[in-house]
Amino acid sequence: MKKSWFWLAAILMATAISCNGQTERTKGKNLAINQDKLQPAASTGEVVNQAPVHITKDDFLKLIMNYEKNTENWVYEGEKPCLIDFYADWCAPCRITSPILEDLAIEYAGRINIYKVDIEKEQELAAVFGVQNIPTFLFCPMEGNPTISSGIANSPEATKTMFIKQIEELLLKGKNSSAI
């Protein structure tokens, strides 16, 4: 029972400190893959991206799920489980999560992909997933349906711990777990 109350309190707190859909315009940067963050994976030699990758609707349709073709069922197109961050540059909690996701992209390189979707530039994607508060995170496992969550914890450390728990439970499901 105490565990249920803890999670309820954590969810309420995360929701309270997340951004809502404000209308301020983004003065964005060029959002491309950082070539300096491409490194070979230690175990396979495969080149993996060690930074979150900014994606567009077209990228999403190819890399994640073609929701225009598969209107009834979730059909995951990815080669690895992924975490998708729906964000905006003006959102303070989004700016807090950015370096955390960069760290996690390095720690989980080769095992999961981390993507970022700018909701101001990709409004259709945000609408398809009902994103009303940001940051919102979509966890896409290799099998089964995705899980969506929004908001962050009360500190960067707690937020990183929250992400690690969600990655391990929702994406890796105990396989190849890492103690971080």
Q: Phi first, then psi: what are they for 81, rounded to 5°? A: -60, 155
CB of 111 closer than 8 Å to CB of 176: yes
Cα–Cα dist 106/39, whole Å: 10
Percentages helix, strand, coil for the chain (3-state, rounded to 5) are 35, 20, 45
Per the annotation, the verdict on 140 as an active-site residue is no
The two tokens of residue 138 are 């979509």
Which among 27, 11, 38 has a CA at the least distance from the CA of 118?
27
Catalytic status, residue 19: no
Catalytic residues: 91, 94
